[in-house]
Amino acid sequence: MGIKEIAEEAGVSSTTVSLALNGRKGVSSITRNRILEIADKLNYRIPSDRIMPRPALGTILFAKIRKHGLILNQDQHSFILDYIEGINKGIRNTGYSFEIHTQQIQSIAAFVQDINARKPKGLIVLGTELTCDDIISLKRLDVPYVVIDTYFEHIASDYVDMANIPALHEIIGHFVATRHQDIGMATCKIKSGNVVMRERGFKLALEYYRLTYRDHSMIVLQPGFDGAYTSMLNHLEQNGALPQALFCYNDIAAYGVIKALKEHGISVPEDISIAGFDDLPMSFMMDAQLTSYHIPNKEIGALAASTILKRVTEKGSHHPTGILVGGTLVKRDSVAYRT
């Protein structure tokens, strides 16, 4: 299965497929997501746009790992594409080739064995669905590696991730500035590294602003749009209490929550203010437009590239380093000023 076959199934040109797979401009987000979904389904190994033959220095591999697909799914394609574009730009013209490897795994041990057999010069791991035990297991890799899109502060490793705790401080601060006193968080049942850090940031922010943590301050949702929608429906049907303002652990969850609220006659932001995280393209098209936290994912990708290149070339002992990248709160209509 090659680019020509993917183009035929997607109903686009081979050039469009090449642009989409390499994270280049000139392709709409809808078309890009459809192409990536087809490539994923067919287990297509995505190369970079480098000229063959490959540079003599070897390959930097980006491993897009899926363990269960409950967090890392088609809803996240546009998010991950920015990582890929940043990595590709950081590695281009360095003498290394860049390849993207998508893998569904049952255990991290099998993944480690596969990578050790491939022997890339360096590895960037998308850690979205990895647990802390998985991060520990990565230490058995024979190649230098860096993990992105997750962070476990109690496990030493090379990370490049978003600064979740400062982000939550800013989000809760915005709720406070708009005169909300009863503030909650809609969190995910599956505790990825980012979800854990956002929960911690939420609780620290409540403490900082001297707000009360109530029984309804933490509403647990199943992952994804459908999971969030169903979980919030169940919460409302059981007469679950709602806060004045609700932070949703990501934008996809916020979309599901808002749909359930509207079906129960609860208006956003008139009855409840909502904020999300990731600032996905759909957020500014919502009614009301969703307040969300924007992360510079291309910058994270570029930092991951520079980190792994340093690891590959450094000599002597290595000291693991965690890099956390701040973002920007994008204020929109879904948060109202309470009088």
Q: Which domain holds residue 240?
A: 164-294
Query: How far apart, in Å, do the first and last CA atoms of the chain sit?
Result: 60
If asked whether residues 123 and 189 sit together in one domain, one would say no
**Structural domain count, the chain:** 2
Assess whether 139 and 177 both reside in one domain. Answer: no
Q: In this structure, are 10 and 74 located in the same domain?
A: yes
Same domain for 117 and 259: no
pLDDT for 225-271, tens place per residue?
A: 999 999 999 999 998 899 999 999 999 999 999 999 999 999 999 99
| CATH code of residue 215 | 3.40.50.2300
Indicate whether 146 and 183 sit together in one domain.
no
**Residue 186 domain-assigned (yes or no):** yes
* pLDDT bracket for residue 70 (50, 70, 90): low
Same domain for 196 and 287, yes or no, is yes
Judge whether 333 lies within some domain: no
Two structure tokens written together for 66: 């899926």
pLDDT digit string, tens, across residues 259-304: 999 999 999 999 999 999 999 988 999 999 999 999 999 999 999 9
Residues 145 and 270 reside in one and the same domain: no
Taking the C-alpha atoms of residue 257 and residue 1, their distance in angstroms, rounded to an integer, is 39
**337 lies in a domain?**
no
What does the pLDDT read at residue 72? 65
Q: Is residue 127 part of a domain?
A: yes
Are residue 33 and residue 112 in the same domain, yes or no?
Answer: yes
The CA angle 243-162-305, to the nearest 5 degrees, is: 160
